[in-house]
């Protein structure tokens, strides 16, 4: 195991911000997506693993600090010089003489930005700037904390496509903190769901989907017509404007599909919808918490 977390607790004053009781392990080459509601402990987890906050418990790893890299949610740099010189100063190398750095700059189409000052960069360009410097470290374990926060949809999509392509054939271990479900669809193969500072679920995407949603779900608009058609089928948690029907077997799937097709209902079939999986895992987490209090 690359990293194993055992009974980790982080407190801010008297308030427990993070409490992981069962072991959580990250293996070499995995892409772990971390998701949760606001205040769930996502950024606190990253800071604890990096040793940036005090914690009780054990984080077992053979990695040294220099073998880890992190892209934090907020980054600020000096604004009085072009970003070329900021990059070279922080990385301790000249762009002109470093082919690996040149490759990253070219991959992210960042050449036109090198002469600009940091404050003149767009939101997407600022994120690219920090990402390039993080990725240049070639760390065995890299954390991306809300890497596309505040960017418009198109910029987010392009940036995540770039990241997915770059890491496609590489053995790096990534921990991606995000509240954008589509980003985790693109990058993550395992999901860690945090809620109220605790682990609500952890495992491979496919298995978590089966555990909380069934084999497949059919997703459609939440209309009176569709609610009536859905009577008798298992309905699971979904965004309010949608209905999600869970199917555990092929026979049940064919039955649902037949009813929807006969009634001319537009639907989406999914076996990997992270948003719906997250919503149902969170709901079961609170049920367990309530059961433990009874």
Tell me the pLDDT tens digit for each residue of 197-206. 999 999 999 9
- Containing 160, the helix (H) or strand (E) segment is helix 153-167
Same domain? For 250 and 193 the reply is no
Q: Where residue 264 sits, what CATH number does that domain have?
A: 3.30.70
Q: Highest mean pLDDT: which of 40-54, 175-189, 198-212?
A: 198-212
| DSSP per-residue string spanning 30-84 | -EEEEEESTTSSHHHHHHHHTT-S--EEEEEE---GGGEEEE-S-----SSSBHH
Residue 163 has a pLDDT of 87
Q: Is the pLDDT of residue 109 over 80?
A: yes
Calculate mean pLDDT across residues 116-121.
91
Same domain? For 23 and 145 the reply is yes
Same domain? For 53 and 86 the reply is yes
Calculate mean pLDDT across residues 269-285.
95
Can you tell me which residue has the tokens 């497949």? 216
Same domain? For 199 and 212 the reply is no
Calculate mean pLDDT across residues 39-54.
91
The tens digit of pLDDT for each residue in 211-224 reads 999 999 999 999 99
Calculate mean pLDDT across residues 59-87.
84
Domain count for the chain, please give it.
2
Same domain? For 192 and 217 the reply is no
Q: Where residue 188 sits, what CATH number does that domain have?
A: 3.40.50.300
Q: Sign of torsion, CA 27 33 35 39?
A: positive
Same domain? For 59 and 132 the reply is yes
Q: Bridge-partner residues for 204, per DSSP?
A: 190
Calculate mean pLDDT across residues 149-161.
84
User: pTM for the whole thing?
Assistant: 0.90
Same domain? For 45 and 185 the reply is yes
Q: Is the pLDDT of residue 293 over 70?
A: no
Residue 290 has a pLDDT of 79
Same domain? For 239 and 191 the reply is no
Same domain? For 136 and 164 the reply is yes
Same domain? For 190 and 269 the reply is no
Residue 67 has a pLDDT of 86
**d(Cα 45, Cα 198) in Å, to the nearest integer?**
10
Residue 291 has a pLDDT of 74
List the domain range (segments joined by +) for residue 152: 3-204
- pLDDT tier for residue 160 given thresholds of 50, 70 and 90: confident
Q: Which of 152, 175, 204 is the last residue of a domain?
A: 204
């Amino acid at each position: 195991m690359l990293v194993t977390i055992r009974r980790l607790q982080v407190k801010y004053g008297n308030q427990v911000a993070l409490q992981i009781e069962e072991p959580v392990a990250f293996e070499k080459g995995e892409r772990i997506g971390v998701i949760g509601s606001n205040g769930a402990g996502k950024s606190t987890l990253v800071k604890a693993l990096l040793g940036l906050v005090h914690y009780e418990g054990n984080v077992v790893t053979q990695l040294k600090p220099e073998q880890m890299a992190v892209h934090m949610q907020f980054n600020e740099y000096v604004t009085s010089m072009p970003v070329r010189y900021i990059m070279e100063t922080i990385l301790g190398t000249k762009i002109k003489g470093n082919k690996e750095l040149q490759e990253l700059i070219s991959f992210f189409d960042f050449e036109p930005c090198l002469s600009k000052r940091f404050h003149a960069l767009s939101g997407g360009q600022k994120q690219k700037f920090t990402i390039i410097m993080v990725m240049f470290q070639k760390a065995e374990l890299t954390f991306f904390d809300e890497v596309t926060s505040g960017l418009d949809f198109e910029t987010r999509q392009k940036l995540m496509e770039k990241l997915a392509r770059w890491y496609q054939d590489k053995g790096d271990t990534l921990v991606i903190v995000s509240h954008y479900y589509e980003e985790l669809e693109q990058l993550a193969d395992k999901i860690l769901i945090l809620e109220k500072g605790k682990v609500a679920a952890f495992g491979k995407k496919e298995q978590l989907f089966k555990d909380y949603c069934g084999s497949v779900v059919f997703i459609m608009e939440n209309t009176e017509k569709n609610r009536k058609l859905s009577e008798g089928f298992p309905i699971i948690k979904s965004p309010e404007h949608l209905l999600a029907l869970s199917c555990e077997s092929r026979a049940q799937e064919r039955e649902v599909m037949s009813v929807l097709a006969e009634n001319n209902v537009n639907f989406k079939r999914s076996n990997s919808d992270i948003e719906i999986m997250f919503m149902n895992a969170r709901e079961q987490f609170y049920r367990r918490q309530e059961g433990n209090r009874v």
